[in-house]
């Protein structure tokens, strides 16, 4: 079954689409979940959540805006991150004066500005550096995993990331020193 057939089944809410999604994209989804959720049981639950989200939101996916795998990656990453965050929040007893999430128009504007500035800075990086950056800050992979997959020692991977962060800070108008 190719990707078009998979998408067609998902859009038609055909259960075979769900099975094919898990069979075909299960390894990728678990690969993204693993660094974010350390508990295997949590991961399996989250995998089901992710599959449900794909099932529900498949109509929002536009083939012209990017690959299905990229869209799926974003769904899985965000679902896992939200789950991890809520887990952390549940585990900690927050003080009464703990600030609520800031959803004001000002902070939304700030987030957009940050994203735009970051997109501009990332565009100036090499493809290799961009991938490294996404591994660290998007896929939230631990340094040991990044190093192993890039054929680097952890120390060398940390060094590369350090230099990359400095470069980015400079591109974002900050001081090169950390």
Partner 1 sequence: MNDNDLGRLSGPALDDALEQALGALPPSAEIVRAVTPWRRAMRRILIGFALCGVTLNFLALQYILPAAGLILQLLGFRALRREGGCFRAGFLLAALRLGVVFPQLAINATVWQQDFADMRPAALLTALALAAQLAQALCLYGGLRAVRRKAGLRPGAGAAAALILWYAAIALLSARGYSGLLFGLPLAAIYGLLLWSLRRADRALDDAGYAVAAAPVRLSDRALALLLAALLLLGVAAGYLFFSRLPMDWSAAPAACADTAAVRGQLQALGFPEAALADLSDADVRACRGALRVTAVVRDHPVNEGRQVTTRSPAGSVTDTVYDRRELRLSSVAVALPDGRWRIFHHFFWIAAPGFRGTEALQLWPACRDGMGWTLDGDWTGRVLCDRGGAALAAPFRRLGSRSYESGSFFGGASAHSDVFAEFSFPRGAARCRGYVAYTVAASAPGCIIDSWVNYVHQRSVLQYPVQTAAGFRMRSGMFASRRVFFTVQDALQFDPADPSAAPLG
Residues making contact with partner 1 (CB under 8 A)? 23-28, 30-31, 66-67, 69-71, 73-74, 77-78, 81, 110-119, 122, 127-128, 130-131, 133-135, 137-140, 144-145, 147-154, 156, 165, 168-175, 178
| Minimum distance of partner 1 from residue 138's CB (angstroms) | 5
What is d(CA 110, CA 140) in angstroms, rounded to the nearest whole number? Answer: 23
Q: Which two tokens stand for residue 169?
A: 């800070």
Instruction: Kindly tell me which of 42 and 136 has the beta carbon lying closer to partner 1.
Output: 136
Q: In the complex with partner 1, which residue's Cβ is closer, 8 or 116?
A: 116
Both tokens of residue 108? 């939304």
Min dist CB 122 to partner 1, Å, is 7
| Smallest distance from partner 1 to CB 37, Å | 15
- Using DSSP's 3-state secondary structure scheme, residue 37 falls into coil
Nearer to partner 1, 14 or 113 (CB): 113
Tokens of 59: 């109509």
From CA 170, how far away is CA 44, in angstroms rounded?
Answer: 40
Q: How far is the CB of 117 from partner 1 (least distance, A)?
A: 4
The minimum distance between CB 67 and partner 1, in angstroms, equals 4
Phi and psi at residue 123, to the nearest 5°: -60, -25
Measured from the CB atom, the residue of 91 and 127 that comes closer to partner 1 is: 127
CA–CA dist 48, 53 (Å, integer): 9
Q: 15 φ, ψ to 5°?
A: -65, -25
């Amino acid at each position: 079954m190719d990707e078009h057939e998979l998408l067609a089944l998902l859009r038609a809410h055909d259960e075979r689409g769900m099975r094919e999604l898990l069979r075909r994209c299960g390894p990728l989804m678990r690969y993204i979940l693993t660094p974010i959720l350390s508990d295997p049981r949590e991961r399996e639950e989250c995998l089901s959540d992710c599959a449900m989200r794909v099932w529900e939101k498949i109509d929002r996916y536009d083939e012209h805006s990017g690959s299905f795998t990229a869209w799926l990656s974003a769904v899985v990453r965000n679902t896992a991150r939200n789950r991890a965050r809520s887990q952390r929040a549940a585990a900690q007893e927050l003080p009464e004066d703990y600030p609520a999430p800031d959803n004001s128009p000002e902070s939304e504007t700030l987030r957009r500005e940050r994203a735009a500035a970051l997109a501009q800075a990332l565009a100036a990086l090499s493809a290799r550096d961009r991938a490294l950056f996404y591994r660290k800050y998007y896929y939230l992979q631990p340094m040991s995993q990044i190093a192993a997959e890039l054929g680097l020692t952890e120390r060398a991977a940390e060094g590369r990331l350090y230099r990359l962060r400095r470069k980015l800070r400079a591109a974002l108008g900050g001081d090169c020193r950390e």
